[in-house]
Protein backbone atom coordinates (compact mmCIF):
# COMPACT_ATOMS: atom_id res chain seq x y z
CA UNK A 1 0.00 0.00 0.00
CA UNK A 2 1.13 3.51 -0.82
CA UNK A 3 -0.41 6.57 0.83
CA UNK A 4 0.31 10.25 0.33
CA UNK A 5 -0.67 13.58 -1.14
CA UNK A 6 -1.15 13.27 -4.90
CA UNK A 7 1.09 16.23 -5.71
CA UNK A 8 3.89 14.87 -3.54
CA UNK A 9 3.67 11.39 -5.07
CA UNK A 10 3.75 12.80 -8.62
CA UNK A 11 6.77 14.96 -7.81
CA UNK A 12 8.56 12.13 -6.02
CA UNK A 13 9.02 10.10 -9.23
CA UNK A 14 10.08 7.07 -7.19
CA UNK A 15 7.54 4.70 -8.74
CA UNK A 16 7.45 2.49 -11.80
CA UNK A 17 6.47 4.17 -15.04
CA UNK A 18 3.09 2.43 -14.88
CA UNK A 19 2.26 3.76 -11.40
CA UNK A 20 3.73 7.19 -12.14
CA UNK A 21 1.62 7.58 -15.30
CA UNK A 22 -1.57 6.75 -13.36
CA UNK A 23 -0.71 9.25 -10.64
CA UNK A 24 -0.14 11.85 -13.35
CA UNK A 25 -3.50 10.94 -14.90
CA UNK A 26 -5.21 11.61 -11.56
CA UNK A 27 -3.41 14.94 -11.24
CA UNK A 28 -4.21 16.16 -14.76
CA UNK A 29 -7.78 14.87 -15.18
CA UNK A 30 -10.73 17.17 -14.56
CA UNK A 31 -13.25 15.20 -12.52
CA UNK A 32 -15.35 18.24 -11.59
CA UNK A 33 -18.12 17.54 -14.11
CA UNK A 34 -17.90 13.74 -14.13
CA UNK A 35 -21.10 12.07 -12.95
CA UNK A 36 -21.05 9.30 -10.37
CA UNK A 37 -20.51 5.83 -11.80
CA UNK A 38 -18.09 3.88 -13.96
CA UNK A 39 -15.97 5.62 -16.61
CA UNK A 40 -13.99 3.64 -19.19
CA UNK A 41 -10.59 5.02 -20.20
CA UNK A 42 -9.05 2.08 -22.05
CA UNK A 43 -9.27 -1.69 -22.19
CA UNK A 44 -7.22 -2.09 -19.01
CA UNK A 45 -8.03 1.15 -17.18
CA UNK A 46 -11.24 2.66 -15.79
CA UNK A 47 -12.45 4.55 -12.77
CA UNK A 48 -15.47 4.85 -10.54
CA UNK A 49 -16.52 8.28 -9.42
CA UNK A 50 -18.10 7.53 -6.05
CA UNK A 51 -20.30 9.83 -4.00
CA UNK A 52 -21.54 8.66 -0.62
CA UNK A 53 -21.98 9.59 2.99
CA UNK A 54 -19.52 8.12 5.47
CA UNK A 55 -20.85 5.65 8.03
CA UNK A 56 -19.88 3.60 11.05
CA UNK A 57 -17.29 0.86 10.44
CA UNK A 58 -19.81 -1.88 11.27
CA UNK A 59 -21.86 -0.71 8.28
CA UNK A 60 -18.88 -0.90 5.88
CA UNK A 61 -17.11 -3.93 4.38
CA UNK A 62 -13.62 -5.32 3.89
CA UNK A 63 -12.46 -6.13 0.35
CA UNK A 64 -9.36 -6.86 -1.71
CA UNK A 65 -8.71 -7.26 -5.43
CA UNK A 66 -6.55 -9.50 -7.59
CA UNK A 67 -6.77 -8.17 -11.16
CA UNK A 68 -6.73 -4.41 -10.52
CA UNK A 69 -4.94 -2.03 -8.21
CA UNK A 70 -7.20 0.50 -6.49
CA UNK A 71 -6.11 4.14 -6.47
CA UNK A 72 -8.43 5.90 -3.97
CA UNK A 73 -8.22 9.64 -4.69
CA UNK A 74 -10.27 11.95 -2.47
CA UNK A 75 -11.83 14.92 -4.27
CA UNK A 76 -14.17 16.21 -1.55
CA UNK A 77 -14.90 15.31 2.04
CA UNK A 78 -12.98 13.28 4.56
CA UNK A 79 -13.13 9.57 5.32
CA UNK A 80 -11.30 6.91 7.21
CA UNK A 81 -10.13 3.80 5.40
CA UNK A 82 -9.29 0.74 7.50
CA UNK A 83 -6.37 -1.27 6.14
CA UNK A 84 -4.90 -4.67 6.87
CA UNK A 85 -3.08 -7.54 5.22
CA UNK A 86 -5.62 -9.92 3.72
CA UNK A 87 -4.11 -12.86 5.65
CA UNK A 88 -5.36 -11.24 8.88
CA UNK A 89 -8.95 -11.34 7.62
CA UNK A 90 -11.53 -14.13 7.35
CA UNK A 91 -12.93 -14.68 3.86
CA UNK A 92 -16.71 -14.40 3.80
CA UNK A 93 -17.10 -14.36 0.03
CA UNK A 94 -14.53 -16.09 -2.17
CA UNK A 95 -12.92 -14.30 -5.09
CA UNK A 96 -15.42 -13.27 -7.73
CA UNK A 97 -13.61 -12.64 -11.04
CA UNK A 98 -16.48 -10.58 -12.47
CA UNK A 99 -16.36 -8.17 -9.51
CA UNK A 100 -12.59 -8.63 -9.04
CA UNK A 101 -13.25 -8.79 -5.31
CA UNK A 102 -12.82 -10.96 -2.27
CA UNK A 103 -14.88 -9.92 0.76
CA UNK A 104 -13.67 -10.37 4.31
CA UNK A 105 -14.58 -9.82 7.92
CA UNK A 106 -12.17 -8.89 10.64
CA UNK A 107 -11.26 -6.39 13.28
CA UNK A 108 -10.17 -2.85 12.53
CA UNK A 109 -6.61 -2.26 13.75
CA UNK A 110 -5.24 0.39 11.38
CA UNK A 111 -7.13 3.43 10.11
CA UNK A 112 -5.90 6.00 7.60
CA UNK A 113 -7.67 9.37 7.48
CA UNK A 114 -8.04 10.53 3.88
CA UNK A 115 -8.53 14.21 3.02
CA UNK A 116 -9.00 15.98 -0.33
CA UNK A 117 -5.86 15.53 -2.40
CA UNK A 118 -4.85 12.26 -0.70
CA UNK A 119 -4.25 9.03 -2.62
CA UNK A 120 -4.09 5.46 -1.36
CA UNK A 121 -2.90 2.71 -3.70
CA UNK A 122 -4.08 -0.74 -2.63
CA UNK A 123 -2.29 -3.84 -3.90
CA UNK A 124 -3.75 -7.38 -3.97
CA UNK A 125 -2.53 -8.15 -0.44
CA UNK A 126 -4.14 -4.99 0.99
CA UNK A 127 -7.61 -5.56 2.39
CA UNK A 128 -9.35 -2.25 2.87
CA UNK A 129 -12.62 -0.87 4.20
CA UNK A 130 -13.54 2.57 2.85
CA UNK A 131 -16.29 5.00 3.75
CA UNK A 132 -15.81 5.11 7.51
CA UNK A 133 -16.72 8.28 9.42
CA UNK A 134 -13.65 10.40 10.18
CA UNK A 135 -14.67 13.35 12.40
CA UNK A 136 -18.36 13.40 11.59
CA UNK A 137 -20.70 11.92 9.02
CA UNK A 138 -20.12 13.70 5.72
CA UNK A 139 -20.38 13.39 1.97
CA UNK A 140 -17.32 12.07 0.18
CA UNK A 141 -16.63 12.42 -3.52
CA UNK A 142 -13.72 10.35 -4.75
CA UNK A 143 -12.21 8.58 -7.70
CA UNK A 144 -11.29 4.92 -7.49
CA UNK A 145 -8.97 4.36 -10.42
CA UNK A 146 -8.74 0.68 -11.39
CA UNK A 147 -5.35 -0.20 -12.89
CA UNK A 148 -4.87 -3.66 -14.35
CA UNK A 149 -1.93 -5.47 -12.79
> Considering the entire predicted model, what is its pTM?
0.94
pLDDT of residue 14: 85
Q: What mean pLDDT comes out for the span 70-95?
A: 97
Structure confidence by residue, pLDDT tens digits, 48-68: 999 999 999 999 999 999 999
pLDDT of residue 43: 84
Q: What does the H/E/C string look like for the chain?
A: CEEEEHHHHHHHCCCCHHHHHHHHHHHHCCCCCCCCEEEEEECCEEEEEEEEECECHHHCCEEECCCEEEEEEEEECCEEEEEEEHHHCEEEEEEECCCCEEEEECCCCEEEEECCCEEEEECCCEEEEEEECCCCCCEEEEEEEEEEC
Closest CA to 63 of 144, 138, 128, 136: 128
Query: How far apart (Å, rounded) are the C-alpha atoms in residues 12 and 21?
Result: 12
Q: What percent of the chain has pLDDT over 90?
A: 92
pLDDT at 91 over 90: yes
Q: Given CATH 2.40.70.10, say whether it is the number of domain 2-6+47-148.
A: no
Q: How confident is the model at residue 44 (pLDDT cuts 50, 70, 90)?
A: confident
Amino acid sequence: MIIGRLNDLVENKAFTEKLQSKLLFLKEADFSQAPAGRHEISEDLFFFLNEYETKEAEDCFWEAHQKYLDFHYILEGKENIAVDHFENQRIIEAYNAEKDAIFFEGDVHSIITMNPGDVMICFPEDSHMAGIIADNKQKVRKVVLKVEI
